[in-house]
Amino acid sequence: MDPLTFVILTALLGLAGFVLYTCVRIVPQAKVMVVERLGKFHGVATSGLNLLIPFLDSPRPIEMRTGNRYMRSTMVDLREQVMGFETVQVITHDNVNMEVGSVIYYQIVDAAKALYQVENLALAIEQLTMTNLRNVMGSLTLDQTLTSRETVNTRLRMVLDEATEKWGVKVTRVELREIEPPQAIKSAMAKQMTAERERRAEVTKAEGDKAAAILQAEGQKISRILQAEGERDAEVARAEGHKRATMLEAEGKAEATRLTFEAIHNGRATPEVLALRYMETLQEIGKGDNKMFIPYEATATLGAISVIKEVFFAKDDEAQRPAASQGTRPTAASLSAQSIARSNVLAEPATLSGTSAPQARRPRPPSGQDE
């Protein structure tokens, strides 16, 4: 084969390969390719095998951000993508400078709009996120930004979703990655946190002491109540025991008296036996020092002694009278007193021995013959 023919065949094979390469395109899953014909939007090639007309159809490249770099590609990824941003300076509503970093999650839902409605989709999303982040953070105070991250995330997502809807992009989530206040603010917050924790510790300790004091007082109260109830029950038990003992003792004495009475009654004791028992009982009672018992029957004896005393006093008075009155006789009153005294003296032995003394004859009143 001559060299000219070889060159022609090689050129034809190269042309055929180029035509085949530009004509046949394979699109991966979850990706699409925007096709232009003669510089005008023609259609969107989906995943699979796609045939293009050489020199007429051409894919439209899109610039996407991967990490910190921007890359151009003819394939448009329809999966959810994440884009992180560096920290930016923001000013809160109470004029506090801080650095805030954020992360945005978005998804391209219309590849044609993403290419034709905005020049650089990645750059537009980045700048839009930063400006809206400054706006949202500027409307909140420092405490709100630190404690209301969910509110900030929701507001940012709503604003970005509304702004990127015409670009064929759906913003799914926006998260604040970090919030860095100034060092002075950090120190003040640390001191505040320490003071708050100390306050809570003191409050907790005070509440614990209060609860302990209340429990201790309640315990002492219950202890005293139980002690008082125990003492009361003990006193009641002692009183019941004393009452029962007294009742049993009284019942025993009553039973003993009844049995003694029945024994005496059934035995038909004579007056002499009763008198002897009476004397023995008096002897038992009279044992000891500084004791003196006078029987009931002795009262008559004492009365007789007083009468005898009066008689003797009367005799002394008569002895002191003049001799002229010695021949006169005793009066009837004196004779009556003497007889009564003699009768009582004679009746006392019989009473002590248990026998009834014979009744003394009453002196008859003096008559004129006695005189």
pLDDT at 340 over 70: no
* Domain end residue (candidates: 137, 152, 181): 181
Question: Looking at residue 96, which CATH number applies to its domain?
Answer: 3.30.479.30
Tokens of 261: 């009475």
Number of domains in the chain: 4
Least confident of 35-49, 106-120, 220-234, 280-294: 280-294
In terms of domains, do 153 and 200 share one? no
Give residue 323's pLDDT: 43
User: Does residue 11 belong to any structural domain of this protein?
Assistant: no
User: Does residue 79 belong to any structural domain of this protein?
Assistant: yes
Give residue 361's pLDDT: 42
The structure's pTM equals: 0.49
DSSP 110: -
User: Does residue 12 belong to any structural domain of this protein?
Assistant: no
In terms of domains, do 313 and 206 share one? no
- End-to-end, the C-alpha distance of the chain in Å comes to 223
pLDDT at 64 over 50: yes
User: Does residue 3 belong to any structural domain of this protein?
Assistant: no
Give residue 25's pLDDT: 84
Give residue 307's pLDDT: 57
- The confidence band for 224, taking pLDDT boundaries of 50, 70 and 90, is very high
Task: Average the pLDDT over 290-314 and give the result.
Answer: 57
* Partners of 101 in the β-ladder: 178
Give residue 201's pLDDT: 92
In terms of domains, do 224 and 257 share one? yes
Give residue 163's pLDDT: 87
- Please give the residue that has the higher pLDDT: either 347 or 269: 269
CB 62 within 8 Å of CB 76: yes
- Please give the residue that has the higher pLDDT: either 330 or 19: 19
Most confident of 48-57, 187-196, 202-211: 202-211
pLDDT at 332 over 70: no
In terms of domains, do 74 and 51 share one? no
For the chain, percent helix, then strand, then coil, each to nearest 5? 60, 20, 25
User: Does residue 166 belong to any structural domain of this protein?
Assistant: yes
The residue segments making up the domain with residue 233 are: 191-268
- The confidence band for 219, taking pLDDT boundaries of 50, 70 and 90, is very high
* Partners of 76 in the β-ladder: 32
Distances, alpha carbon 294 to alpha carbons 1, 57, 186, 258, 288, in Å: 184, 160, 112, 27, 15
* Domain end residue (candidates: 162, 181, 200): 181
In terms of domains, do 75 and 176 share one? yes
In terms of domains, do 69 and 154 share one? yes
Instruction: Estimate the crossing angle of helix 121-138 against helix 149-164, to 10 degrees.
Output: 140
Task: Average the pLDDT over 140-161 and give the result.
Answer: 86
Q: CA 13, 16, 18 angle in degrees (round to 5)? A: 110
DSSP labels for 283-306? HHHT-SSS-----TTHHHHHHHHH
- Please give the residue that has the higher pLDDT: either 361 or 133: 133
pLDDT at 15 over 80: no
Give residue 291's pLDDT: 58
Asked whether the CA dihedral 261, 263, 266, 271 is positive or negative, the reply is: negative
Give residue 1's pLDDT: 61
Give residue 226's pLDDT: 92
- The confidence band for 357, taking pLDDT boundaries of 50, 70 and 90, is very low
pLDDT at 362 over 50: no
User: Does residue 286 belong to any structural domain of this protein?
Assistant: no
In terms of domains, do 233 and 305 share one? no
Mean pLDDT of the residues in the chain: 77
In terms of domains, do 263 and 353 share one? no
Most confident of 225-229, 299-303, 356-360: 225-229
Give residue 220's pLDDT: 92
- Please give the residue that has the higher pLDDT: either 199 or 285: 199
CB 93 within 8 Å of CB 152: no
In terms of domains, do 312 and 243 share one? no
Task: Average the pLDDT over 224-237 and give the result.
Answer: 91
pLDDT at 168 over 80: yes
Instruction: Give every CB contact of residue 23 below 8 A, 6+ residues apart in sequence.
Output: 51, 52, 53, 54
In terms of domains, do 218 and 144 share one? no
In terms of domains, do 161 and 81 share one? yes
In terms of domains, do 208 and 113 share one? no
User: Does residue 351 belong to any structural domain of this protein?
Assistant: yes
Share above pLDDT 90 across residues of the chain, in percent, rounded to a whole number: 15
- The confidence band for 14, taking pLDDT boundaries of 50, 70 and 90, is confident
- The confidence band for 22, taking pLDDT boundaries of 50, 70 and 90, is confident
- Model confidence over 263-284: pLDDT tens digits? 777 766 667 666 777 677 767 6
**Closest alpha carbon to 35 in 70, 13, 17, 62:** 62
Nearest-angstrom CA–CA distance, 131 and 124: 11
Distances, alpha carbon 102 to alpha carbons 141, 144, 180, in Å: 18, 17, 12
pLDDT at 31 over 60: yes
User: Does residue 71 belong to any structural domain of this protein?
Assistant: yes
Let me know if 301 is exposed, middle or buried by CB neighbors in 10 A (0-12, 13-18, 19+): middle
3-state secondary structure of 179: strand
